[in-house]
Amino acid sequence: MKRYKELLAMPHVVILAITAFPGRLGYAMIALGTFFKTQQATGSVATAGMAIGLYSLTGSLTSGIRAYALERWGQKWPLRLFVPIYAATIIAFNSMESKESLLITALLLGVTAPPINLAVRPLWKDIVPDNFLRTAYALDTSMMSFTTVIGPILITFLALSSRPELGLTVIAALMLIGGLGLSATTVSKNWVPEKKAKDQQKLWRDRAIQLLMFEGCFIGFGIGVFNVAVPAFATQEGVAQRVAWIFAAFGLANMIGGLLGGLVSKKQAPLSALLRAYALWVVACIPLVFTYPDWTITVVGAAIGFIHGGFQVFYFEVLEAVRPHGTQASSIAWIWSIEGSFLAAGAAVGGIVSEHFSPRVGLALTPIMLLFGLLFIIIGRGRLSAANDVPTDEEDLRAIKNLSDEVK
């Protein structure tokens, strides 16, 4: 605790933590906010799934462009441009009632999503000494994970209240407060992007990155189905209010799993740890098909979140070990572009199968997709041989830093 007190006493630390929080909370609420708004307006779970899918698709496809904007022009103007447009698009989405207008506006939401987490992540290095970076990144990651716990609870409470329009209105306000507040901080305005290496290899030509992108197709699709099948299941059973607690349990367990994963990250090579965590993740998802939107899916979801938290630590260590030089931000952004695109497809499929067949069908697809992802990593693990070594202090530090990045 003494170390955190010393960290919080440093200039700019408290301001950065406070200004980053509202925008991150808004991001933790927007997916369910989109789902509930679309489902309530159209009465269709499938359409709600399509809305989330379109939002995720366009958001992921343009994540690399947002990363480029930050690296090209700094943080001040990209944030001041994206944030107001995004907030206005949320308000517009909140006023729509027809299926077509909702889907079109959901698509625009993804395009205009501001790069808040991409902006926050590199600022810690500018405001704390090197020996406090690990503590700063741990604080940053914990705060972001905390938003994934309270965000679903807050948006579910608002969306199912007597004034459901308040949910998206609050999200828009949070994005304006957080995004514009962040862009107004001294450290954000003065941030200078790192210069890229002139001879860096193109991402799409790197065999390791190609494998991770291909694996991301399966992991994205599986998570996308899960993200829609769970609220669809609860909505169809008349217990939509339980969605908040289900995702909150997942988020809390994910945060704990990530912290514990960081404790064991140096005891074995990242690739070996990744494969073990991946296998446990697949096994933990199998019981989903037998659950109901009550304590059973909450417990299973918590187990999945716990293992996924550790999986993230090892995944980013592997990525840090194999990525081409000079691609610290773009490697994550473009992998997310692929993964997020298939997450969008999974969300759309999850809505369709939940409405026309059963949410259990969607939940069954999650472990199947993750199993395919695991198999491709096992088959192509030779491309990730650089991650067979125990990480150095520098690689481990960068991996923890990447955990605070949603690539938005």
| CATH number of the structural domain spanning residue 136 | 1.20.1250.20
Q: Please report whether residue 407 resides in a domain.
A: no
Contact yes or no for 254/309 (Cβ under 8 A): yes
Number of domains in the chain: 1
Close Cβ partners of 10 (under 8 Å, ≥ 6 residues apart) = 127, 128, 132
- Dist. CA 332–CA 315, nearest whole Å: 11
And the tokens for 309?
A: 């938290």
H-assigned helices in 237-358: 242-264, 270-285, 295-322, 330-356
Other CB atoms within 10 Å distance of the CB of residue 250: 26
d(CA 361, CA 60): 25
Task: State both tokens at 385.
Answer: 């041989």
pLDDT confidence of residue 408: 44
Residue 406 confidence (pLDDT) = 42
Contact 80, 180 (CB under 8 A): yes
The burial class, CB within 10 Å (0-12 / 13-18 / 19+), for 173 is: middle
CB under 8 Å to 313, separation ≥6 — which residues?
258, 261, 262, 265, 399, 400, 403
Q: Does residue 48 belong to any structural domain of this protein?
A: yes
Read off the pLDDT of residues 188-205 as tens digits, 9 standing for 90 and up: 888 877 666 666 667 677
- Supply the DSSP symbol for 161: S
Nearest to 374 by CA among 250, 283, 287: 283
Query: What DSSP string describes 66-135?
Result: HHHHHHHH-SHHHHHHHHHHHHHHHHHHHH--SHHHHHHHHHHHHHH---HHHHHGGGHHHHS-GGGHHH
Look at residue 175 in the predicted model and tell me its pLDDT: 94
Structure tokens given for 185? 């901080």
Q: Which residue has the tokens 């769970």?
A: 230
Task: List the pLDDT tens digit at each of the 408 positions of the chain.
Answer: 566 677 788 888 889 989 999 999 999 899 889 988 998 899 887 788 788 878 877 887 888 788 778 877 888 888 999 999 999 999 999 999 888 999 999 999 999 999 888 788 778 777 877 666 556 766 777 777 778 778 888 898 898 888 888 999 999 999 999 999 999 898 888 887 766 666 666 767 778 888 888 898 999 899 888 888 888 888 888 887 788 788 888 888 887 877 676 555 455 777 888 888 899 999 999 998 888 888 888 899 889 888 887 787 778 778 777 777 666 667 777 787 888 778 878 888 888 888 788 888 888 899 999 999 999 989 988 888 777 766 555 655 565 555 544 434
* In-domain check, residue 408: no
Distance from C-alpha of 370 to C-alpha of 285, rounded to nearest angstrom: 9
5 assigned to some structural domain: no
Full residue range of the structural domain in which residue 58 is found? 12-402
pLDDT at site 264: 57
In a domain, 6, yes or no: no
Residue 51 lies in a domain: yes
Among positive and negative, which fits the CA dihedral 94, 65, 122, 262? Answer: positive
DSSP state of 389: S
User: How many CA atoms within 13 Å lie on the side-chain side of 377?
Assistant: 27
388 within a domain of the structure (yes/no): yes
Please tell me the predicted confidence (pLDDT) of residue 1.
59
Full DSSP string of 175-229: HHHHHHHHHHSHHHHT--PPPPPTTPPPGGG-HHHHHHHHHHHHHHHHHHHHHHH
* 207 burial level (CB within 10 Å; 0-12, 13-18, 19+): exposed
> What 3-state DSSP class applies to 268?
coil
> What are the counts of helices (DSSP H) followed by strands (DSSP E) for the chain?
18, 0
Note whether residue 134 is domain-resident.
yes
**Angstrom distance (rounded) from CA 168 to CA 33:** 6
Using a 10 angstrom Cβ sphere, with 0-12 exposed, 13-18 middle and 19 or more buried, the burial of residue 238 is exposed
In the prediction, which pLDDT does 123 show? 83
